[in-house]
Amino acid sequence: SERTLVLVKPDGVSRGLVGEVISRIERKGLTLAALELRNVERDVAEQHYAEHDGKPFFESLLEFITSGPVVALVVEGPRAIAAFRQLAGGTDPVEKATPGTIRGDFGLEVQFNLVHGSDSVESAEREIKLWFPSL
């Protein structure tokens, strides 16, 4: 079994889609190992998205992710990393995500794409340590 770090981003929380996201995770057969509603410190946001430092959208991404509370989850199950990326859909909600996915069903703009999911075992380990140091 594998663990992945999932975020319902500020747009997902403010639009009332937390239950929808959790419901899809649970219906897929994945389980919740941790769950917390929290405000994101600038420092945590920078570390979380460190791989994008220097990109043109980095500053606006940090502003967005610190703009309101997020729901952070640790999600567990066989191939949990790929399984949640499948549920989320591609990064661009219109160009890449297909209907039936979270981003494809609820998103319009690339920055406001509702959810985050770790993209590799290494990222998942790093992100779980960052968001849930006690796990």
Q: Catalytic site residues?
A: 116
Pinpoint the alpha helices (H) of the chain: 10-14, 18-28, 42-48, 58-65, 80-88, 102-106, 121-131
Dist CA 82 CA 87 (whole Å)? 9
Q: Does 34 bind ligand GTP (CB under 6 A)?
A: no
Residue nearest to Mg ion (CB): 119
- 39 annotated among ligand-binding-site residues: no
Q: What amino acid is encoded at 65 in this protein?
A: I
- Radius of gyration (C-alpha) of the chain in whole angstroms: 14
Query: Count residues contacting ligand GTP (CB under 6 A)?
Result: 11
Does 129 show up as a binding residue in the annotation?
A: no
Q: How far is the CB of 52 from Mg ion (least distance, A)?
A: 8
Binding site for Mg ion (CB under 5 A): 119
Binding site for ligand GTP (CB under 6 A): 52, 57, 60-61, 91, 110-111, 113, 116-117, 119
